[in-house]
Chain A
C-alpha cells in the first residue's frame, strides 16, 4: 500500500535494484562532470579554489556509487565460487541460501 496509491502493495511494486542502478548512474555522472576540467588533467597540485558544500555533495554521491559497486561485486562473488577467496570466511563456508545472516535479503 502506498500513500498516494493505496491499491497496490508497495513491496510488490518497488524496484529496489532500479533504485541502486539509478544511484550508481548518478555517481557515474559525477565522474563525467569531473572530466570536464578547465585546466586539463589535474596533476595532484593544489586545487584552484576550495571545494564547497556543492562539490562535497557530488563527492558523496560518487561515494555512494562506489558503495553500490561493492554490493554488486559482492553479489558476483556469491554466484562465482572461484572468487570466493575475496569473501569473508563466514560467507564462504555456507551458501547464501543456507546462511541465516543473509536470509532476509531474499
Chain B
C-alpha cells in the first residue's frame, strides 16, 4: 500500500494538469486560428478592450469546458428555482422583454460558440444550492468538524 501523497506532490500534480491544459488550449488556437481572431485595425480603445474581454471569456470557456458547463448548469438551476418565486418571476418577465438581453445573448452565443448548450444532465446540481449554503452559513452556522474534514492536515 502506498503512502498518501503529501501537499507538495498534490500541488505539483495539479500544476502539471494546468500546464497540459494550457498547452492543449494553445495548440487548439494555433491549429484553429479562427478561434482567436485579430482585432480590427481601426478599433477604438473601448472596442479593443471589449474585444479582449470577449476573447478572454471564450478562452475561459473553451479552456475549461467541464467547469464552464457545471457553472452554467448551476446558474440555470438556480434561475429556474428563482423564477418560481413572485420576485423571480417578475425579473424573468422583464429579462425576456429586454432588448439588452437579446443583444447580450447574441454576444454570448458568438463568444461561447454554444458549446454550453444542450440539456443539463440529471441531478447535475444540488437542489436549491444557493439557499442551502446561505442557510448553512447564516442561519445555522457550520460545525468546525465539518470544515476539518475538508481541510486535511498540511494542506491549508
Contacts and interface: CB of A to CB of B under 8 A. Distances in A.
- B interface, how many residues as a size bin? 35 or more
A32 B88 CA distance: 15
Contact of B104 (A4, A33, A50, A52): A33
A42 B138 CA distance: 33
Contacts of A42: 90, 93-94, 97
A63 B95 contact: no
Contact of B91 (A1, A34, A39): A34
Nearest to B17: A3
Given A53-B76, A57-B75, A35 B133 contact: no
Given A71-B134, A101-B141, A6 B95 contact: no
The secondary-structure label for the interface of chain B is helix
A102 B139 CA distance: 11
B80 interface: yes
Interface residues of A, number: 49
A54 B108 contact: yes
12 contacts: A3-B14, A11-B156, A30-B91, A35-B98, A36-B98, A38-B99, A56-B76, A56-B80, A58-B95, A62-B91, A88-B139, A101-B142
Interface of A: 1, 3-4, 6, 11, 30-39, 42, 44, 47-64, 67, 70-71, 74, 88, 90-91, 99-105
